[in-house]
C-alpha cells in the first residue's frame, strides 16, 4: 500500500517539478501564434480550450493501453511500479511533451516531418512507413475487439458490428476535429479517469494487501525483466504511438504555455491509470501466479472484467463494457485520423485536388487495409507492434535531443532516455520470440554494441555542433 500511494505522489510531483523544468528548457513563448490560428482551416487546425485538449490527448494516447499493458506487466510483480514511475516521468512525459511542442512550434507538423527535419530525409522515409503501418495495425486491433463484444451483446453479426464501427471511424476521421472528437471525447476521457479512481479507491478498501516495492522478478514464467517489461508496459511509461497523436491536439492549442498541461500532464495521468491497474492485477488475484491463470483463462480483458465487477459490482460491469468498447474505438479512430494526416503530408506534392476529395481518398486508402486486417487472424503481425511502438518512441526522443542540441539547450533530458530506449529496442528484437530468438546473453551483447554505436554517433554530433559554434565565434571576432 505504501509503495502504491508513494508512486502516485511521485507521479504527481513529477508533473509539478520535472514538468516545469522541461517546460523551462524548451522555452515556451506565448507571443508566437500557434498553428490553430495561423493555419485555421475548420478541419484539423481549430482552436480549442486546453482542458478539452488535455482530455482528448489522454483518451487518444490511453485507450486500453495503460489497462491491458499494466495488467500484463503486473506479472513481473512490484518492479512494474518502479518502471511506470521512472519511465513515465523521465521518458514518456518528456517524449509526449516534445512530440507535441515541436509540432506546435513547427506549424503543426506530423511526427515523420519532425524526424526528417532533425534526423534527415532517409530516416523520415523509414519512419513514415513504420508509423503508418503502426497506425493501421493499432486501428485494426482496436476495432476487432469492440466489434466482437458488440456482436455478443446485440443481434448484429461480427461483420455487421465491424461495419458499424468503421462507418463511425470514417465519419470521425474526415469531420472537423471539433465536431465529434472535440465534443464527446472529453466526456470519454472523464469516464476513463473515473474508472481508474473508482478501482483505486475500491482496491484500497477491499482488505487486500497491495504489495510493496521489490526489484525481484516475480514472473511465473521466469521471463527476464530487462528488456521485456519496458515493451510490455509501454502506455503508462513510454509509447511511440503517442508521438503520432500529439500533433492532432497540437493543431488546436491556443498558446504554447498550455503544452505542459496537455502533453506532459496527459502522460502523467496515463501513468497513474497504469499504476492503478498494475496494482489491481498483482493484488486482486493473490499474486502473479493467480494473475497469470486469470489472463490465461480470459486474456487481459477477462481479468479487467473480473476485477471491475468484483470491486464495483454492477457499476464495474458497466464500466468494463464501456471500457472494452469505447476506449479502443476512440483510440482506433484517432489512429486512422493520424495515418490520414501523415499520408496526406506524404502525397501533398503529387495530389493537386480539392481538399475534401483528397481527405476522402486518403482516408479510404488507409481504412481499407485496416478493415481487412480486422477480419482476419493477424496475430503474427500484432506481435511486432510492441517493438515497433518502442522503436518509434526511441526515434522521437533522439529527434527531441537533436532539436535541443541545435538550439543550444540542455539536450540530455531527451538524449539520456533516448539512449536507454535504444538499449531496450536493440536488445529486445534479438531476444524476443517475434525477433531473432537468440540467447539472452548474446542479445544483451549485441544490444550493448548497438547502443554504444548510437552513443558514438551522438557524441560526434555534439562535437560537430561545438566546433560550429567555435567557427561562428571566430568569424564574428574577425
Element (H, E) at 46: none
DSSP per position, 262-300: IIIHHHHHHHHHHHHHHHHHHHHTSSHHHHHHHHHHHHH
Residue 113 in contact with residue 38, Cβ under 8 Å? Answer: no
CA 395 to chain centre: 13
Per-residue tens of pLDDT for the chain, all 478 residues: 789 999 999 999 999 999 999 999 999 999 999 999 999 988 889 999 999 999 889 988 876 778 888 999 999 999 999 999 999 999 999 999 999 999 999 999 989 999 999 999 899 888 888 888 887 877 777 777 677 767 777 888 888 988 888 888 777 777 777 777 778 878 878 887 888 888 899 999 888 889 988 888 999 988 999 999 999 999 899 999 899 889 989 999 999 999 999 999 999 999 999 999 999 999 999 899 999 999 888 778 778 888 888 888 887 777 776 766 777 777 777 777 777 777 777 766 555 545 555 666 677 777 788 788 878 765 556 667 889 999 999 999 999 999 999 999 999 999 999 999 999 999 999 999 888 999 999 999 999 999 999 999 999 999 999 888 888 777 776 6
Rounded CA-CA distance 188/59 in Å is 7
- Confirm if 14 and 88 have CB atoms less than 8 A apart: yes
Say what the pLDDT of residue 348 is: 64
Options 1.10.1040.10, 1.20.1740.10, 1.10.760.10, 1.10.3720.10; CATH for 2-384 is 1.20.1740.10
Distance of CA 413 to the CA centre of its chain: 19
Write out the three cell numbers for 141.
486491433
Q: CA–CA separation, 97 vs 100, rounded Å?
A: 5
The grid coordinates of residue 391 equal 522503436
Q: 207: Cβ–Cβ under 8 A, 6 or more apart, which residues?
A: none
Tell me the C-alpha distance between 346 and 366, whole Å. 13
CA gap 167, 279 in Å, rounded: 37
292: how many CB neighbours lie within 10 A of its CB?
A: 18
Is the separation of the CB atoms in 300 and 77 below 8 Å?
A: no
User: Would you state the pLDDT for residue 380?
Assistant: 59
- Report residue 336 as a C-alpha cell: 486512422
The grid cell for 186 is 472529453
| Residue showing cell 510483480 | 77
Q: What nine digits make up the cell of 258?
A: 498550455
Here the cell at position 441 is 546473453
**How many residues are given for the chain?**
478
Domain boundaries, the chain: 2-384
- The CB-side HSE value for 236 (13 A sphere, CA atoms) comes to 34
How many alpha carbons fall within 13 Å on the CB side of residue 249? 35
CA distance 463 to 473: 15
User: Looking at residue 80, what is its pLDDT?
Assistant: 96
Contacts of 39 (CB under 8 A, 6+ apart): 45, 107, 108, 251
What does the DSSP 8-state code read for residue 224? -
- Distance (Å, rounded) from C-alpha 64 to C-alpha 323? 7
Q: What is the pTM of this model?
A: 0.90
Using alpha carbons, list the distances in angstroms from residue 234 to 87, 228, 274, 344, 407: 9, 10, 10, 28, 29
Amino acid at each position: 500500500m505504501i509503495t502504491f500511494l508513494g508512486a502516485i505522489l511521485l507521479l504527481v510531483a513529477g508533473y509539478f517539478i520535472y514538468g516545469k523544468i522541461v517546460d523551462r528548457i524548451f522555452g515556451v513563448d506565448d507571443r508566437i501564434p500557434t498553428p490553430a490560428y495561423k493555419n485555421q482551416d475548420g478541419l484539423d487546425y481549430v482552436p480549442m480550450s486546453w482542458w478539452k485538449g488535455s482530455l482528448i490527448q489522454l483518451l487518444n494516447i490511453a485507450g486500453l493501453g495503460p489497462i491491458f499493458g499494466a495488467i500484463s506487466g503486473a506479472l513481473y510483480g512490484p518492479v512494474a511500479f518502479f518502471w511506470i514511475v521512472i519511465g513515465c516521468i523521465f521518458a514518456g512525459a518528456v517524449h509526449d511533451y516534445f512530440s507535441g511542442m515541436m509540432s506546435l512550434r513547427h506549424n503543426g507538423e506530423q511526427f515523420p516531418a519532425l524526424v526528417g527535419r532533425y534526423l534527415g530525409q532517409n530516416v523520415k522515409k523509414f519512419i513514415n512507413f513504420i508509423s503508418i503501418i503502426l497506425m493501421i495495425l493499432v486501428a485494426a486491433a482496436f476495432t476487432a475487439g469492440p466489434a466482437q463484444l458488440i456482436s455478443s451483446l446485440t443481434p448484429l453479426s461480427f461483420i455487421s458490428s465491424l461495419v458499424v464501427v468503421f462507418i463511425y471511424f470514417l465519419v470521425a476521421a474526415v469531420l472537423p476535429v471539433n465536431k465529434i472528437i472535440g465534443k464527446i471525447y472529453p466526456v470519454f476521457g472523464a469516464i476513463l479517469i473515473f474508472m481508474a479512481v473508482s478501482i483505486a479507491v475500491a482496491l484500497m478498501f477491499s482488505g487486500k494487501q497491495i504489495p510493496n516495492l521489490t526489484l525481484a522478478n516475480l514472473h511465473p514464467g521466469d521471463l527476464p525483466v530487462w528488456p521485456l517489461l519496458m515493451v510490455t508496459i509501454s502506455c503508462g511509461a513510454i509509447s511511440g504511438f503517442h508521438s503520432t497523436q500529439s500533433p492532432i491536439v497540437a493543431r488546436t492549442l491556443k498558446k504554447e504555455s498550455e503544452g505542459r498541461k496537455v502533453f506532459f500532464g496527459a502522460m502523467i495521468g496515463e501513468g497513474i491509470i497504469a499504476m492503478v491497474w498494475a496494482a489491481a492485477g498483482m493484488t486482486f488475484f493473490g499474486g502473479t501466479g493467480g494473475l497469470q491463470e486469470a489472463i490465461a483463462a480470459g486474456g487481459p480483458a477477462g481479468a479487467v472484467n473480473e476485477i471491475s465487477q468484483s470491486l464495483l459490482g454492477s457499476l464495474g460491469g458497466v464500466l468494463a463494457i464501456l471500457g472494452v468498447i469505447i476506449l479502443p474505438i476512440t483510440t482506433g479512430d484517432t489512429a486512422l485520423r493520424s495515418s490520414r494526416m501523415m499520408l496526406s503530408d506524404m502525397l501533398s506534392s503529387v495530389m493537386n485536388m480539392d481538399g475534401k476529395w483528397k481527405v476522402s481518398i486518403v482516408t479510404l486508402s488507409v481504412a481499407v487495409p485496416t478493415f481487412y486486417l480486422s477480419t482476419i487472424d493477424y496475430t503474427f503481425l500484432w506481435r511486432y507492434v510492441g517493438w515497433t511502438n518502442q522503436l518509434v518512441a526511441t526515434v522521437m526522443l533522439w529527434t527531441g535531443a537533436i532539436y535541443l542540441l541545435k538550439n543550444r539547450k540542455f539536450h540530455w533530458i531527451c538524449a539520456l532516455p533516448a539512449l536507454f530506449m535504444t538499449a531496450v529496442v536493440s536488445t529486445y528484437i534479438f531476444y524476443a520470440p517475434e525477433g531473432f530468438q537468440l540467447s539472452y546473453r548474446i542479445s544483451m551483447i549485441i544490444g550493448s554494441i548497438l547502443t554504444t554505436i548510437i552513443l558514438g554517433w551522438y557524441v560526434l554530433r555534439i562535437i560537430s555542433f561545438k566546433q560550429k559554434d567555435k567557427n561562428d565565434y571566430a568569424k564574428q571576432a574577425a
